[in-house]
Amino acid sequence: MRTTFLLFSISLFFSCQEKNNNLSSNQNKPESITLKIDSLLHTYEKSGEFMGSVALSKKGKPIYSKAIGFSNIEAEKKSVSNTKYRIGSVTKTFTATLIFKAIEENKLELNETIENYFPNVKNAHKITIAHLLQHRSGVHSYTKDKWFFNNRNNYIASKEMLAKISTYESDFEPDTNGEYSNSNYFLLALILEEIYNSSYKELLQEKICKPLNLNSTYVGKEISKNESYSYNYDERWVEFPESDLSSTKGTGSIVSTAKDLNIFFESLLTGKILSEENLVLMKSIKNRFGMGLFRYKINDRQGFGHRGRIDEFRATSIYFDKENLAFTLISNGSKIDINEIYQEILKLYLNDAPVEISEDEVKNFVGVYVSQNDPDDKSVFIQDKNILVNFIKNEFKAPLIYKGNNRFVLEQMYAESISFTFSADGKKMIFEQSGNKWNYIKE
């Protein structure tokens, strides 16, 4: 598994490394950061590789905002900072927040089962609200059903969606595994509507948007004024047929802006919406899943947020607690993986001064280290001047970033950073990722 994480992202790691090196030489001053991010986005706009919006805020105050590309290519309408986009599964964090607000209002209990709401859903008597929130229910995702994709552009009534979900066999016994399922959050949205006797649309406005003054956030319908269309690229940008959002209630139905999403995530993750107890529960991770949140690491920093995708829209919102930093990137058309873009932008902002290490010091950590749990599991380290390189499968070379105190880090695009901490004599090494540790000894 550890090798899989490395191979999964190593090629993309190198694809953006050269850009980062070229753009990170200036001092970490606010005006310098702005210029560097502007330069990066200008490069993407000039090459036509990306369209969308970026926003950063610190301690609740906007510090950077930029929109590039077109919200409507046919009308030659450029995107601006208040252009609205469909945010896909970022919607799930709003839904989870509404569920926890219902718990705080004594309308729900986290460990109550869902059989009273959905008696026909398989294993309903075993599935709890917590299981739905954390993708541990075993309820099959309706977005994996060809029926959904054949009908996603049409209106689908909630009763029809529920009937379809009720026909699925369980993917696994509740709480024995974790697997992402849009059905979980559709069911949570229906529970909210039942216990409040109100629509999800109205609850979103009443409980979250109005209190936080999120004036550009709402449940979408057909694309309307100041909303962006999405595009895929096939020799030219082609408008992508929009999904009918009736089938994405609670899972991917919200429209918003980068600015509004920063306000929401900063408010949520600094305890302005929910109690500290419930915020801790949302951030608890099992099998990669929190309760409406994911954990992200970049530049050895930890944040919580969510990603989303619907049609050709992509969205990523993350809040970094220690840095008091909220970040959102939303795209309505991209030829490249937007994860690469957001990684580059955050690295520019979080640009830490490198810790110096000499070539002689690096030599101490060169060699083959063998796992104490599995003798076939080996980590190989080679040297490139004053850089320690993780040599993977005798094929991929991953340069590591030195953090001081004999600790090196491999930053990854699709998995959490990997930390290699060596003993002072270089004879032992601790491999650490996602809170797990493995001990190695040099051959």
Give me the pLDDT at residue 4, please: 41
Give me the pLDDT at residue 21, please: 41
Q: Who's near 376: CB < 8 A, 6+ residues apart?
A: none
Per-residue pLDDT of the chain (443 residues; tens, 9 = 90+): 444 444 444 444 444 444 444 333 334 455 678 888 999 999 999 999 999 999 999 999 999 999 999 999 999 999 999 999 999 999 999 999 999 999 999 999 999 999 999 999 999 999 999 999 999 999 999 999 999 999 999 999 999 999 999 999 999 999 999 999 999 999 999 999 999 999 999 999 999 999 999 999 999 998 887 899 999 999 899 999 999 999 999 999 999 999 999 999 999 999 999 999 999 999 999 988 999 999 988 777 889 999 999 999 999 999 999 999 999 999 999 998 888 888 889 888 887 667 899 999 999 999 999 999 999 999 999 999 999 999 987 778 889 989 899 999 987 655 677 899 999 999 999 999 877 899 999 99
Angle at CA of residue 193, ends 188 and 198, nearest 5°: 155
Q: How far is CA 309 from CA 90, 144, 277, 329, 441, in A?
A: 8, 14, 30, 12, 43
Q: Who's near 186: CB < 8 A, 6+ residues apart?
A: 142, 161, 162, 165, 248, 249, 250, 251
The answer to whether 255 and 220 have CB atoms below 8 angstroms apart is: yes
Fold for the domain defined by 85-349? Beta-lactamase (3.40.710)
What's the distance, CA 167 to chain centroid?
30
CA distance 135 to 294: 12
Backbone angles phi, psi at 324, to 5 degrees: 55, 40
Give me the pLDDT at residue 209, please: 98
CA distance 205 to 209: 5
* Start-end of CATH 2.40.128 domains in the chain: 359-442
Please state which CATH number belongs to domain 359-442: 2.40.128
Give me the pLDDT at residue 344, please: 86
Give me the pLDDT at residue 411, please: 77
The model's pTM: 0.83
Backbone angles phi, psi at 313, to 5 degrees: -85, 140
- Provide the β-strand partners of residue 378: 370
- The secondary element (H helix, E strand) that includes residue 305 is strand 301-310
* Start-end of CATH 3.40.710.10 domains in the chain: 85-349
Give me the pLDDT at residue 352, please: 66
